[in-house]
Structure 1
Amino acid sequence: MAYSEIELDGLKEIVNVGGGNAATSISQMINSRVDMDVPEVEVMAYDELYQKIIADDVEMHAVLSKIVGDIDGALLFVITDESGQKIAKMMLGSDDNPSNEIIASAVTELTNILFNSFLRAIGDMLQIQLIASLPISRYDFFGAIISSAYMAFDHYDEQILVIHNEFTYNNESLDASLFLIPGEGVLDKIFKALGI
């Protein structure tokens, strides 16, 4: 199913609010400025992910949480190892090379902030309360990550909302992708709430 530019702009605005809230929360946590560029937003079919988003020969850090509340779905955050190391150094305030365990912990902590900021933006718009379940972290190839995300939950839409964010900290760019795996009809509910 194709979505119009107006619908995608509406989704981008929600994401922009959620990402801006997340950047503010992270800035307060590390006591240093974190900026976020305007996100790129695209809705695509599950099968397209393998062809358009991330090569399957690269291992990634990933965090998955189920959406808890009045709508069904899941959030998946994926980031390269290089950006994961940058996040760990940012969160720890150190230039030492972090271990994989420290990277996973830092990415999970940042993701928890990002997920809940994003869900607050959606919840405020829909006038419902949404939170993210306890996150599950994983380091694996992208194909295995996205497949396991779909297998973990039943009755999800074939359309995925793909959000590409770039956070900037001390002139360092942190590229990341956030995936909203919606329950059936969730995107239509969002569009209806936006008056689209």
Structure 2
Amino acid sequence: MDLHMTELERDIIREILNIGLARAADSFAVIAQEKVMLEVPNLDLVSGDNILARVRKLQDQHVIIQSDIKGEFNGTTLMFFSGQHVQRLSRVCLRMNTSDSLDIDSMQESLLLEISNIITGALVTQLANILKASIYGAPPTHPHGDMAGALQNLMLHRPMVQPLIFSVITQFSDKDNSVELPLMLFFDRDTFGKILDIIRTYDVMGGQQAGV
């Protein structure tokens, strides 16, 4: 049976993520040495086939950083850094003049891992605080090979996975245009059901609903 969100539930989850990302933006701005804006424009439940198609499209032009969510919730985040991101962050944070190639060295890899750790950590902390859940983010990794293939194996062995997908937009203040930094969040069906149950029975603005 498919899971469904009402528009109100969708708005609540989006607001939770926005709060977490606002805090992540402050930390990210220190690293990037520019004003950074992080937004959550999209929040969708998508089918396994659709997510695999999206990952295949992104993985050829991005460096992928993965972090697992553990504890009472089970999930995974994937961040996709474009060559433009790698070039910009390498110049600002590492004083390296590089091309926009996706071939990164160990220092660049460590930088992307740390940025992913900051952003994912802020999201996980916010979810834990608001939903009163004991969860934490595992140390991020830089997976190699076909990520879409790995996800396909996961979904075949765990057919109850129904990903929750959203995008994060970053924009440096000295740029006239936004550069998309895709961030994908996966929860298994049991975890997403728990989140919806909490939202439906708890006033996220500060207390248990009357009669619950």
Superposed pair shares fold, TM > 0.5 = yes
For structure 1, list consecutive stretches of 5 or more residues without a partner in the other structure: none
**Equivalent-residue separation in structure 2 for 1:129 and 1:85 (angstroms):** 36
In structure 2, distance between residues paired with 1:156 and 1:135: 24
Moved more, 5-14 or 98-107: 98-107
Q: Is the 8 A contact 1:39 1:165 kept in 2?
A: yes
Does the 8 Å CA contact 2:82/2:181 hold for their aligned counterparts? yes
Shift of the 175–65 alpha-carbon distance from structure 1 to 2, 3 Å rule, reads: same
Counterpart among 122, 140, 143 of residue 135 in structure 1: 140
Unpaired runs of at least 5, structure 2: 202-212
The answer to whether the 8 A contact 2:32-2:89 is kept is no
Partner Cα separation in structure 2 for residue 57 and residue 137 of structure 1: 12
Note closer, same or farther for the CA distance 1:56–1:126 as it changes in structure 2 (3 Å cut). closer
1:60, distance to aligned residue in structure 2 (A) = 1.9
Q: 1:166 aligns with which of 157, 166, 169?
A: 169
CA deviation after TM superposition for structure 1 residue 47, in Å: 0.7
Give yes or no for contact 1:77–1:179 (8 Å, CA) kept in 2. yes
For 2:97, the aligned partner's letter is: D
Map Cα deviations across residues 93-119 of structure 1 (whole Å, 9 max, x no partner): x46116612433222111010111010
Counterparts of residues 19-34 of structure 1 (less than 5 Å): 19-30=21-32, 32-34=34-36
- How many pairs align? 192
CA-atom RMSD in angstroms: 2.8
Match of 1:96 in 2: 97
Q: Which has more radius of gyration? A: 2
- CA offsets per residue over residues 103-138 of structure 1, 9 Å max, x none? 332221110101110101110122123221121113
- TM-score normalised per structure 2: 0.76
Letter in 2 for 1:147: G
SS in 1 for 2:86: helix
Task: Name the aligned partner's letter for residue 98 of structure 2.
Answer: N
Quickly say closer, same or farther: Cα 1:28–1:156, change in 2 above 3 A. Answer: farther
Q: Give a deviation string over 1:15-72, Cα, whole Å, max 9, x none.
A: 2112111101222445542222343222211211244566268332111122122111
Conserved? CA contact 1:14–1:122, under 8 Å = yes
Q: Could you say which residue in structure 2 is the equivalent of 1:182?
A: 187
The Cα shift of 1:192 comes to: 1.9
Q: TM-score, normalised by structure 1?
A: 0.81
Where does residue 75 of structure 1 map in the other structure? 77
Mean Cα deviation higher: 49-58 or 75-84:
49-58
Change beyond 3 A, Cα 1:86–1:14: same
Offset at 1:5?
2.3
Calculate percent identity across the aligned residue pairs: 18
For 1:76 and 1:51, the matched residues in 2 are separated by 14
* Conserved 8 A contact 1:59-1:139: no
Greater share of strand: 1
